[in-house]
Amino acid sequence: MPTLDINEIQRFLPHRYPFLLVDRIIEIDEERIVGIKNVTRNEPFFAGHFPDFPVMPGVLIVEAMAQTAGVLVLKNIPERESKLVLLVAIENARFRRPVVPGDTLRLEMSVLKRKASVAKMAGRATVDGQVVAEAEVMCKLADKEESPEEKREALSL
């Protein structure tokens, strides 16, 4: 199974440190992708969430899931250098247990529906085989060259 390292992921996603939340892709095919996020004590969000009990914010777990989904969406598009994948919806998000420094987050995403410019994906995040979060995300393709107003209009669903 093909894998992508952080440098290859950066060819797909515009995110950079400290907001790139996928370290490696370990599985990928047409309908499914698995990413890895190594959670370390050095993550910038741990300074305030929470200093005495560091917990990865749930919204960032969902963002890591969405970024993993974005790699899958962009991998199958020939003109991907000119596209952005924008998150337009999060549904049925559930958080089962805290993610803490030292955890390896496994991000599994599968396509539910796909159209030319929109994809809906379901996924789960696990640590040591235990589900820590589940969510469905919807992503929309936008042109990088669009103005901010055009991007806002494209996101109006």
Instruction: Look at the alpha carbons of 39, 45, 51, 54 in this order and tell me if their dihedral is positive or negative.
Output: negative
Number of domains in the chain: 1
Q: What is the DSSP string of 34-67?
A: EEEEE--TT-GGGGTS-TTS----HHHHHHHHHH
pLDDT at 145: 79
Q: Tell me, yes or no, whether 132 lies in a domain.
A: yes
CATH number of the CATH domain containing 21: 3.10.129.10
List the domain range (segments joined by +) for residue 134: 6-151
pLDDT > 70: percent of the chain: 92
pLDDT (mean) for 14-27? 97
Positions annotated as catalytic residues are: 49
pLDDT at 149: 74
The tokens describing 11, both together, are 């060819």
Higher pLDDT pick, 82 / 93: 93
pLDDT (mean) for 6-19? 95
Q: Which of 78, 9, 77, 68 is nearest to 33 (CA)?
A: 68
37-66 confidence digits (pLDDT tens): 999 999 999 999 999 999 999 999 999 999
The tokens describing 126, both together, are 């696990």
